[in-house]
Amino acid sequence: MLDLVFDFGKIVIADIVLSGDNALIIGMAAAGLAPELRKKAILFGMIVAALLRIVFAVVATKLLGIPGLLLVGALLLFWVCWGLYREIRANNDEAAADALELADDPEKGYTGKPRRTLGQALWTITLADVSMSIDNVLAVAAIADGDTNLLIFGLGLAILLMAFAATIIMKLLTRYPGISWAGLVVLIYVAGEMFYRGVWDPANGVLAFLNGGA
């Protein structure tokens, strides 16, 4: 039970600390819309981002069971950790919070007549969400370790957080940067564990695969 709670906590914190890119893109896109369209665009963007993570993560969980791909995933997750480190140093969360706050203020950002339909804006946000969800997928799939129920349950909470409290989360990460640093430590631990298993795991490790082939 304790392990389940620990894994659930890791999934939630990973999803939160890796949400900065999505929040920044969604906030900037929404700020360019007419004020009456912004809230719909932000809500849509956050929900799509969360749902994409679930779908991609379920697929990634299955793929990581293939010998060799676990090691590749570990190396990619180390790259994600490096990217998160640079984002923390660059105060990306603060920029995301400002973008969301700007989009939420009807007197700021673009205030003229709608230059494009809501559908066009949502399509732009969806494309951005797809490209921005890969890092989160790697982290969550590694933590879930094949447990689809844990994966969906953990990300289900993340959907609620990102859809209805994105600005609060970004401000919280800006005010308490220790949360982001703690998330980075968690991800480095997950990547290290994933790397170890990717090399030595009896079922999916590279060495076990090579020895079996020999």
Q: Is residue 85 part of a domain?
A: no
Instruction: Give the pLDDT confidence score for residue 108 in this predicted structure.
Output: 63
Q: Is residue 103 part of a domain?
A: yes
Confidence of residue 162 (pLDDT cuts 50, 70, 90): low
pLDDT at 186 over 80: yes
Q: Is residue 202 part of a domain?
A: no
Q: Is residue 76 part of a domain?
A: no
Q: Which of 18-22, 31-35, 203-207 has the lowest mean pLDDT?
A: 203-207
Q: Is residue 128 part of a domain?
A: yes
Number of domains in the chain: 1
pLDDT at 6 over 80: no
Q: Is residue 140 part of a domain?
A: yes
* 3-state DSSP of the chain: CHHHHHHHHHHHHHHHHCCHHHHHHHHHHHHCCCHHHHHHHHHHHHHHHHHHHHHHHHHHHHHCCCCCHHHHHHHHHHHHHHHHHHHHHCCHHHHHHHHHHHHHCCCCCCCCCCCCCHHHHHHHHHHHHHHHCHHHHHHHHHHHCCCHHHHHHHHHHHHHHHHHCHHHHHHHHHHCCHHHHHHHHHHHHHHHHHHHHHHHCCCCCHHHHHHHHC
Average pLDDT over the chain, rounded to an integer: 74
pLDDT at 196 over 80: yes
- Mean pLDDT over 28-37 rounds to 73
- Mean pLDDT over 155-164 rounds to 68
Instruction: Give the pLDDT confidence score for residue 204 in this predicted structure.
Output: 62
Q: What is the pLDDT of residues 62-119, one digit of tens each?
A: 777 676 777 888 888 888 888 888 888 877 777 777 777 776 666 665 555 655 567 7
pLDDT at 212 over 60: no
What percent of the chain stands above pLDDT 90?
0
Confidence of residue 124 (pLDDT cuts 50, 70, 90): confident
Instruction: Give the pLDDT confidence score for residue 117 in this predicted structure.
Output: 66
Instruction: Give the pLDDT confidence score for residue 200 in this predicted structure.
Output: 79
Instruction: Give the pLDDT confidence score for residue 187 in this predicted structure.
Output: 87
Look up the domain containing 130 and give its range.
2-64+91-176
Q: Is residue 208 part of a domain?
A: no
pLDDT at 178 over 80: yes
What percent of the chain stands above pLDDT 70?
73
- Mean pLDDT over 164-183 rounds to 80
- Mean pLDDT over 134-138 rounds to 73
Q: Is residue 157 part of a domain?
A: yes
